[in-house]
Structure 1
Amino acid sequence: MRTKQIIAAIAMAVAQPAIAQVQPTPSPALVAIEPQIDTIFAKWMAENHVPGMVYGVVADGQLAYVRGLGMQDLTTRTPVTQDTLFRIASMTKAFTALSILSLRDKGLLSLDDPAEKYVPEMRGWGNATADSPRITIRDLLHHVAGFVTDDPWGDRQTPLPQDDFTKLLAAGVPFAQAPEMRYDYANLGYAILGRVIANVTHAPYRNYVEKTLLWPLGMRASGYDVRELQADRRALGYRWENEAWALEPTMADGAFNSMGGLSVSARDYAKWLSFLLTAWPPRDDTDTGPVKRGTVRQIATGLNFQFVSHRYGASGATACPGAAAYGMGWRVIQDCDLGLTLNHGGGYPGYGSHALLLPEFGVALFAFANKTYAGPTAPVWDSAVLMLQQGAIKRRVLAVSPELAMFYGAAGEVWAQGSVVHLQDKVAMNFAMDRTTANWAKVLRETKAQAGRCETSSPIRPDNAMMGSFTWVCERGTIEGTVMLAPTKPITLQALRYTFVPKT
């Protein structure tokens, strides 16, 4: 199939009604931009010579939108659907990391344990330098174990027999640098984590992931051994070379499966993303997931090896840079517009994938493709930005705590009365030291004179349970205010600010 043919196939797929692959009905705002999302992915697919792909949006705990384009098998011309199985490569690492955290929760290991406690072949490695620490479980999770970045070597190790992996470890692994000195993405580290899981549970790595995550989440179609998967649902992997597609060899399940061996369908993967999103925000609800919500949130915990990240996709050149670090199986980026983001790609012989979690919105996006290293990163991020710009996703609004609401009411009274006298014992010990009662009266009088009459009924915007900001619209501008409570019991007021911003 040549380029013109795949463009025609994409056009046919996009022209088909989306209802057959959507469950349940998406929001009207999302429906309105579905054609634009389809265009983003179809264009990327054609430009990158991708035989087939599937992409989707997870919202409100369900697969809100999903679309399959192109072919999962170019010989049989079987179209991609939400049930087509793709290898997701390094997105497998997220399952491995959460499995390690669940073993920690059960008291079976500690993240700060030396890895050699569970993988005895590592005991003979020695130290990178005389003053270097031994590699810990945490080091492996965060890619700071001192290994060299090993793409694409690691990908080709997937079918390595376990006995051969044992020999590789026993022979020793060279250090690229001392552990805990810098971040270097290493597939080897996650392969070792798979061996840790196997040795701790006294069973193959995949058994623990299946019993702990896949099966409880209903991901019964997914799995690690392609020979056990339903053959007519598998997306075959292709390489584009010499202006034609060539079939990549299918790699069997082996010792490096914990770093990139999982195959999933869009329908199954949506269950995984839905489960992860339930961890935000923290709350008092009953915890019913296979892993605790508090544990899931720890996947976003990175180390101090942060770097500046420019947003993927078309908006990357104009968006403000984000602060990035590697968490536990996820790259974590603080984005100026999207807030906290967790993302990860998967590059593999015959496959490429990407997932993006937006915890502050309760939304996730993902895409799988069956072409070598064809990671659909840009269209996933472009679709997320489009959804934000078009109002198809909304940031979750924090609830205002009773204490914050009470002191915001007090802020209105202070403004109305022009005095803080009535606060008396409701303030923290620093309050009177930072500004005297007399000076409060003076500042309030001057600020009110600048602002003129103000509408003070707008709600406070909570940053957390003990701090919030507010905006009052006034005759000659706005009052930008802050209420900050003190870390004491009973709770008191430590700071109150009213800043006048004149009209421009």
Structure 2
Amino acid sequence: MKLWLALLLLCLPAIAHAQADEKKIAVAVPEIDRLFQDFQLDSHAPGLVYGIVANGRLVHVKGFGVQDLVHSRPVTPDSLFRIASMTKAFTALSILKLREEGRLSLDDPAERYLPEMRGWTHPTADSPRIRIRDLLTHSAGFVDDNPWGDRQTPMPEADFARLLGQGVPFSTAPGTRYEYSNFGYALLGRIVAQASGMPYRRYVEQSLLTPLGMTSSGYEIAEWPVERRAIGYRWDAGRWKKEPDMADGAFGAMGGLQTSANDYARWVAFLLSAWPARDAADAGPVPRAAVRMLAEGSNFMQLAQRSGKSGASACRQAAAYGMGMRVAQDCDLGLTLSHGGGYPGYGSHVMLMPDHGVGIFVFTNRTYTGGAGPAWDAAMLLKQAGALVAQPVAVSALVAEGYAAAGRIYAAGDVGVARETLAMNFLVDNDADSWAKKLAAIKAEVGACRTDAPVKATGNLSGEFVWTCDKGRVAGSLLLAPTMSAQIQEWKISVKTP
């Protein structure tokens, strides 16, 4: 085993930063177990497995039902499921790794790597050439193709090349709208192969799966014994029917990966380890900054309702498709990255909460039975249990210096005592006399304040504070200028009301 691989496997539990309260997760687990068990029973999925990843490791995993209906083998954390479109994040990160290696640019035209595209007829005279970035964010102008695309996994590469050579119809002009395209991700798989000089499948195995220790994961399901596999089924005309086993082919990049809960937890832990940005050495197969690019959404924002029972009464999310992941800001959970997987014989869902270092995933072996609802409901149960703890922003030396100056100003009632810490706009926006009157009014109401209370950093150049005073409290915020010294460009301060 290579030294860097050994170091990564040893460091995975540490690099995610302890952000979740595992004791409180344990308290919530019985109710979360019931959520997923009820979902498995109510959806009539033969089998289901789900996991919770926190602090860089799989802290809970549970299987329900069976992985096959003939021998009734129970689902275990090592049962192998196809995860369908959750594969797209592996494809996207492969592209981002190739970008880091200087083998491609996200703004390269896709036809540079796929010459079959050069003769395509675009929908309008002013249509731009399709970029790799457009394929990643489903904005290349292709039609939504879930019903068709889900059956294309085994297409031979030669047949795919002929299809490309014939050209394709466009739904919209490239770069004008989001429209989910499995076809677009199959093109990305072909680009990975062209840019890396090896088959897509081999590149993902060598560059991501092997380094992360995902030894039970791969694209060709026939390479694993059937005893380990969760067999895919659909419910049709009142009886179960086995879905066909689709071999690896030209569309594997859009949804062909097979994995286990134990393996997939390593992937989730690795993705979460990219947050927050920090100085520590990169231990993974892809730099943290590249992993965080998965969360860079396209400019086609949408308002969305949170999945699950809690979504009905929750504030709506601001959501967009990033690179292989759906990105949303949730008023309760913060930044979230998620993706569903719908496939003949399988359904899956993953949701990550990078602000808290926690991820939840679920696999089933029934067609299009994904489990998004219970996954998000489980996240809310963790939130309600107090298990999600946001990583605090460290107070920089600049913020600490500016905050100390603010305390001196309040004590003196005069901005002049710290004039050297004020940015050039500060006294232009409000002069010294105005500040003297404002500070005097606050002091008359609340009296002296203990200005040594901790400041809460909101960034390297900003912070918030609350001071306890003789007759009440004062709240405020501090914003520094983009200069190398701690110069205050804005200081807000007011009496805190109940």
- Shorter-chain TM band: over 0.9
Distance 1:458 1:337, change over 3 A: farther
Amino acid of the structure 1 residue aligned with 2:32: I
Q: Are the counterparts in 1 of residues 402 and 486 from structure 2 also a CA contact under 8 Å?
A: no
C-alpha deviation, 1:202, in angstroms: 2.5
Amino acid of the structure 2 residue aligned with 1:171: Q
Which stretch shifts more, 364-373 or 41-50? Answer: 41-50
Which stretch shifts more, 89-98 or 458-467? Answer: 458-467
Work out which of the residue numbers 138, 141, 148 in structure 1 matches 2:143.
Answer: 148
Distance 1:309 1:201, change over 3 A: same
Where does residue 76 of structure 2 map in the other structure? Answer: 81
Where does residue 310 of structure 1 map in the other structure? Answer: 305
C-alpha deviation, 1:457, in angstroms: 4.0
Where does residue 431 of structure 1 map in the other structure? Answer: 426
Work out which of the residue numbers 70, 86, 92 in structure 2 matches 1:97.
Answer: 92
Q: Are the counterparts in 2 of residues 26 and 65 from structure 1 also a CA contact under 8 Å?
A: no
Partner Cα separation in structure 2 for residue 243 and residue 448 of structure 1: 76
Partner Cα separation in structure 1 for residue 497 and residue 195 of structure 2: 64
Work out which of the residue numbers 210, 227, 232 in structure 2 matches 1:232.
Answer: 227
State yes or no: 1:195 paired with 2:190: yes
Which stretch shifts more, 361-370 or 228-237? Answer: 228-237
Partner Cα separation in structure 1 for residue 233 and residue 472 of structure 2: 61
Where does residue 3 of structure 1 map in the other structure? Answer: none
State yes or no: 1:107 paired with 2:102: yes
Amino acid of the structure 1 residue aligned with 2:33: D
Amino acid of the structure 2 residue aligned with 1:125: W
Q: Are the counterparts in 1 of residues 21 and 389 from structure 2 also a CA contact under 8 Å?
A: no
Which stretch shifts more, 150-159 or 477-486? Answer: 477-486
**Counterparts of 1:204-223 in structure 2 under 5 Å?**
204-223=199-218
Q: Are the counterparts in 2 of residues 469 and 482 from structure 1 also a CA contact under 8 Å?
A: yes
Where does residue 502 of structure 1 map in the other structure? Answer: 497
Where does residue 468 of structure 1 map in the other structure? Answer: 463
Amino acid of the structure 2 residue aligned with 1:314: K
Partner Cα separation in structure 1 for residue 29 and residue 287 of structure 2: 34
Q: Are the counterparts in 2 of residues 476 and 502 from structure 1 also a CA contact under 8 Å?
A: no
Partner Cα separation in structure 2 for residue 453 and residue 422 of structure 1: 17
Partner Cα separation in structure 1 for residue 471 and residue 234 of structure 2: 64
Other structure's SS at 1:153 match: helix
Where does residue 266 of structure 2 map in the other structure? Answer: 271
**Counterparts of 1:257-336 in structure 2 under 5 Å?**
257-336=252-331
Q: Are the counterparts in 2 of residues 224 and 263 from structure 1 also a CA contact under 8 Å?
A: yes
C-alpha deviation, 1:477, in angstroms: 4.7
State yes or no: 1:363 paired with 2:352: no
Q: Are the counterparts in 2 of residues 84 and 234 from structure 1 also a CA contact under 8 Å?
A: yes
**Counterparts of 1:249-264 in structure 2 under 5 Å?**
249-264=244-259
C-alpha deviation, 1:453, in angstroms: 5.0
Where does residue 123 of structure 1 map in the other structure? Answer: 118
Partner Cα separation in structure 2 for residue 419 and residue 64 of structure 1: 54
Where does residue 492 of structure 1 map in the other structure? Answer: 487
Larger RCO (CA under 8 A, 6+ residues apart): 2
Amino acid of the structure 1 residue aligned with 2:368: Y
Amino acid of the structure 1 residue aligned with 2:467: W
1:179-231 CA deviation, whole Å, 9 max, x = no partner? 00100000000000011111222221100000100000000110000101232
Q: How many residue pairs get matched?
A: 479
Amino acid of the structure 1 residue aligned with 2:390: R
Amino acid of the structure 2 residue aligned with 1:292: P
Q: Are the counterparts in 2 of residues 223 and 229 from structure 1 also a CA contact under 8 Å?
A: no
C-alpha deviation, 1:105, in angstroms: 1.1
Question: What is the RMSD computed on CA atoms of the aligned residues?
Answer: 1.4
Distance 1:472 1:230, change over 3 A: farther
Amino acid of the structure 2 residue aligned with 1:123: R
C-alpha deviation, 1:452, in angstroms: 4.2
Work out which of the residue numbers 44, 67, 77 in structure 2 matches 1:49.
Answer: 44
Other structure's SS at 2:38 match: helix
Which residues of structure 2 form unaligned runs of 5+?
Answer: 1-19
Q: Are the counterparts in 1 of residues 66 and 72 from structure 2 also a CA contact under 8 Å?
A: yes
Where does residue 415 of structure 1 map in the other structure? Answer: 410
**Counterparts of 1:27-46 in structure 2 under 5 Å?**
27-46=22-41
Amino acid of the structure 2 residue aligned with 1:133: P
Amino acid of the structure 2 residue aligned with 1:301: E
Where does residue 371 of structure 2 map in the other structure? Answer: 376
Q: Are the counterparts in 1 of residues 81 and 365 from structure 2 also a CA contact under 8 Å?
A: yes
1:138-169 CA deviation, whole Å, 9 max, x = no partner? 11000001000001100000111111111111
Partner Cα separation in structure 1 for residue 48 and residue 395 of structure 2: 43
Other structure's SS at 1:145 match: coil
Taking only the aligned residue pairs, the percentage that are identical comes to: 54
C-alpha deviation, 1:243, in angstroms: 3.3
TM-score normalised by structure 1 residue count: 0.93
Other structure's SS at 1:443 match: helix
Q: Are the counterparts in 2 of residues 26 and 64 from structure 1 also a CA contact under 8 Å?
A: no
Partner Cα separation in structure 1 for residue 148 and residue 40 of structure 2: 26
Distance 1:333 1:26, change over 3 A: closer
Amino acid of the structure 1 residue aligned with 2:283: T
Where does residue 342 of structure 1 map in the other structure? Answer: 337
